[in-house]
Structure 1
Amino acid sequence: MRDLSPKPANTAGPAPEFPWPEAKTCALFPAFDVDAESVWLGADPQNARRLITRSYGGYEARVGIPKILEVLRRHEVKATFFVTGWAIDAHPRTCEAILKDGHEIAHHGYLHLRPDTADEATLVDEMDRAIETMQRVLGITPAGYRAPWGETSDEQMELLKSRGIRYSSSFRDDIRPYRHELASGKGPVEIPVNYSFDDWSYGLTHRTSPRAMFGREEVLAIWKDEFDQTREWGGVTTMVMHPQVTGRPMRIRILDQFLDHVRGYDDVWIGRGVDFTDHFEACEAAAS
């Protein structure tokens, strides 16, 4: 039976007002969800027979990620790529190129299955299989995690803690990092997401889930306005970009022009998820 009692979904206290590094007044967390074909397979196993549907995800390794890496190099930005274990197994050279440029690769499940609908065995398999893949193929152990399909559960949060995952970037309930409070005690640091920066909502349509697509002017205006107000509030703007969307020709211009806009300010700290976590933990230790 589900617990519908009146209590907050998140029991963590208010986000601490830790200063940003380098005397900056706000922050940008550029982050990409590398689902590749796994997002389509995880949504419907029958898509294994639908080569054109899967080709949406295949675009990431063939074109999207290389073009995004070019843009990030031009702006001297280091980002985090939340990559499914399946995508690492399928596209190892693409993932190696991400690491070579100094970006972070973090955990995004193995087959992009929803944690809130999975049984315990599936949760553990999705977690451990992806970690094993990262260690075996890339020689890394992930510090961070982003929930596939933008959803999680109490069981999944405890699993993150038990596997040594230091941070999550999935929740939508703040503009500054904070630490989760779990039933077992202190949990991972959260770098909260701004859903306005989820490019999937603006730029991908499919025959089984048709939706209106938004042009460059509309999306860029939303991104600029959200960033500018978050900057005034001293928060972090956390992005949720997908190379099979933002890596498309017109849409990569939105990212390019948005980074131009951000670089127009001199008070913005830009970091990877692990950098945010290192800073948060250092401030936390200093305050204790």
Structure 2
Amino acid sequence: MPNVAWPNGAKIAVNLTFDFDAETLWLGRAPTNVDRPGTLSQGTYGAKIGVPKILELLADEELSATFFVPGWVVDNRTPIVEKIVKANHEIGHHGYLHKSIDPNNLEMELEELEKGIESIKRIIGVAPVGYRAPSGETSANLIRLLTERGFIYDSTMLDDIEPYRHVLEDGTPGVLELPWHWSLDDAQYLLTSVKSPRPMATNDHVLSIWKAEFDEAYLSGGYFNLIMHPQLTGRPSRIRMLREFISYIKKYDNVWFARSREVANAWLKIANTRSEGPIVSPFLRQNENGTISQR
């Protein structure tokens, strides 16, 4: 649905999103990391320094954002998660222990989903309405599972540049998709570790890509989904980089900064007034039996 008529005449919807993984980024990859305090401290930085710096920046800029948070982080970093909520930001679901889903272990996917929902409801008081799969890894059952549990949107797929509506195997509408891409994820440029070393990009390099991507999204009159991690973008120089990028976006007219749930609700409201049918996600067409079973 290009050239979306966003609220108040906005030309583009901008999502500032943060995957607040904390230590789960390392625990989910290798449970043995529990005995590696140096490795885990990279995630601790996100909770201890990164998120507070980001909250300060968002307050200065008078912007609201969405934080996708694993259930383990909600349970074990509760005070900082409560600060996020108090600052009027959205909490989205991001698994429980940030495990990459194995399509051959669907029980684990369901457990991660339900434990994450339970943690958010218990601590925040309300169920999440949005989901982002850890590392973008999931199974063909994801959209059905989210729809059955009352989610409004997903932000896992990389197959479009505009939001679109999933359709379940039986033809009923599923959740809305808010697509993303690695070029707009800070981890692609800034994440490194001793076991998986890779060079880090300069802030100028990252900023140049983000600006170019935003320019084209603005011209198309659509959607811009930026993905950041507090343990990465929460570093002092990168906070400065993010502030510069926000300033760059604000120079454009008719930009709508919104939380993910607000973008999803606006799109759904607009779609209800149009005659076009929703787009079917190819990820829903078949599982190992050739169909997706219904509960």
Question: What does 1:115-264 align with in structure 2 at a 5 Å threshold?
Answer: 115-117=101-103, 119-184=105-170, 185-264=172-251
Aligned mate of 1:80, from 66, 72, 79 = 66
- The amino acid across from 1:177 in the alignment is P
Structure 2 CA distance for aligned equivalents of residues 115 and 158 of structure 1: 15
Aligned mate of 1:281, from 268, 271, 274 = 268
Partner of 2:107: helix, strand, or coil?
A: helix
**Runs of 4+ off more than 3 Å:** 15-18
Per-residue deviation, 1:202: 1.0
Aligned mate of 2:32, from 27, 46, 53 = 46
8 Å Cα contact 2:182-2:188 kept in structure 1: no
In structure 2, the residue matched to 1:22 is: 8
Structure 2 CA distance for aligned equivalents of residues 54 and 204 of structure 1: 14
8 Å Cα contact 2:3-2:222 kept in structure 1: no
In structure 2, the residue matched to 1:55 is: 41
Give per-residue Cα distances to partners, 1:26-83, cap 9 Å, x unaligned: 1211100011101111100110111110111111111000000111111111100000
Per-residue deviation, 1:118: 5.6
The aligned length equals: 274
Contiguous gaps of at least 5 residues in structure 2? 276-295
Give per-residue Cα distances to partners, 1:147-194, cap 9 Å, x unaligned: 101122211221111111110112112221110123143211011113
Give per-residue Cα distances to partners, 1:222-274, cap 9 Å, x unaligned: 11111011111112110110000000111111111000101111221111111
Work out the percentage of aligned pairs sharing the same amino acid. Answer: 44
Contiguous gaps of at least 5 residues in structure 1? 1-14
Structure 1 CA distance for aligned equivalents of residues 180 and 86 of structure 2: 26
Alpha-carbon RMSD across the aligned residues, in angstroms, is 1.3
Structure 2 CA distance for aligned equivalents of residues 122 and 220 of structure 1: 37
8 Å Cα contact 1:107-1:131 kept in structure 2: yes
8 Å Cα contact 1:88-1:137 kept in structure 2: yes
Per-residue deviation, 1:18: 3.3
- The amino acid across from 2:145 in the alignment is L
- Higher mean C-alpha displacement, 25-34 vs 175-184: 175-184
Partner of 1:137: helix, strand, or coil?
A: helix
Partner of 2:217: helix, strand, or coil?
A: helix
8 Å Cα contact 2:99-2:134 kept in structure 1: yes
TM score, norm. by length of structure 1: 0.92
In structure 1, the residue matched to 2:99 is: 113
8 Å Cα contact 2:2-2:221 kept in structure 1: no
Aligned mate of 1:97, from 60, 79, 83 = 83
- The amino acid across from 2:29 in the alignment is A
